[in-house]
Amino acid sequence: MAKKVPIDFVDERLNQGLAKTGLRFTAQRRHIYNTLLQKRDHPSAEEVFMRAKAEMPELSMATVYNTLDTLVKCGLIRQVTHDRGPTRYCSNLQKHHHFYCNECNGVFDIDVDPETGEPEFHMPPGFTISHWEILFRGVCPECNAKKNGAGSSRS
Ligand SMILES: [Zn+2]
Ligand SMILES: [Zn+2]
């Protein structure tokens, strides 16, 4: 998770994605996509802006919004809606589910076994699934540690 994504990989992915839409490769698009790939903690648009701006001060919020839109259209990232906050962005293209922490509002990736990870749906007639998502809610390890460490010391 903490390992750095090589810039060649960023460029390759971005070029592939943009090719589908006919949009140009730009320094801003590259920088914002790279920002999303380097820290995959499902940031909001505002958080992407703050992180990306640190290294590209001329970046505007409007550019960030437009670029996030473009990246979603290219299929390079996906939107994660969070009922307790702004839309977040996920750059993990592997099939996975999301775990929402009740304590810190963090969003975490839960990988699925490619063999058995696909849930079986018994859909009523007439429904077509374009994509599916399972949502987990609970407490993340960090928040659990805080809770457990605060009072009791267990043996
Ligand atoms: Zn995710
Ligand atoms: Zn948490």
How far does the centroid of ligand 1 lie from the alpha carbon of residue 147, in Å?
25
Amino acid 120: pLDDT = 55
Q: Do 73 and 131 sit in the same domain of this protein?
A: no
Structural domain contains residue 88: no
Amino acid 31: pLDDT = 97
Report how many domains make up the chain.
2
State which residues have CB under 5 angstroms from ligand 2, the bound ion: 101, 103-104, 106, 140, 143
Residue ranges of the chain with per-residue pLDDT less than 70:
1-2, 114, 116-123, 150-155
Which CATH number do you get for residue 66? 1.10.10.10
pTM: 0.80
Residue 102 belongs to domain spanning = 94-150
Domain end: 80, 111, 131, which one? 80
Q: Of the candidates 20, 114, 128, which has an alpha carbon nearest to the alpha carbon of residue 75? A: 20
Q: Do 63 and 101 sit in the same domain of this protein?
A: no
Amino acid 55: pLDDT = 95
Q: Do 107 and 67 sit in the same domain of this protein?
A: no
